[in-house]
Structure 1
Amino acid sequence: MANPLPEPLTLDALTLESRILVAPTCQDSARDGEATGRHMMLGRLTMSGAGLLTLDATADSPEVRIIARDLGLNNDGRERALGRSDSGLNPDRPCRLRGPGP
């Protein structure tokens, strides 16, 4: 039997290049909501052949962060800091930042 992991997976309108999903959890290493060096590995994880990379505990306002060290996307500086983590992203693969919901 062939290994199905490298095959595409379609979920509603989203088609992933592979069935491999990477979900690094409990990073708990942001500084005042900004990504730090520990988050820089996220870009490299996309080079693993994964079809989807998720982030946990990323808040759209400081008030909804679970703990102070959770990521935040509620201002330009925090978004730029997280954007630096995509330096290892493959330019031929799409990258989309999307929150929960439709």
Structure 2
Amino acid sequence: MAELIQVHDRFVRGPKDGRKDLDLGDTINKAYEDDMKQMERLAFMLNSKQVPIKLTFYGNVKKGLFFEVECEDAETKEKVDKVLNKYKADQDDLFNF
């Protein structure tokens, strides 16, 4: 997977709060990391043409996770971008009460 999907992680994680029972900062950071890993897996699965894809993640814990998809094949880029946007919207909806 590493050859076809290049990930640039520029996401700024929040500080750990140091609580022994439940470190909220660490929990939030892990949730963002899990989302990035899932988005990388989705990009890999959608890459039927086996072309190089570059995913850049940026943002921070206060503003949220953002991403950019770069790919020379326009069809693949559009497909990956659409699915990752849908995934991100679904994840964001989990926290909108």
TM-score normalised over the length of structure 2? 0.30
Q: Name the structure with the higher strand share.
A: 2
Higher RCO, Cα 8 Å, sep 6+:
2
TM-score normalised over the length of structure 1? 0.29
Q: Name the structure with the higher helix share.
A: 2
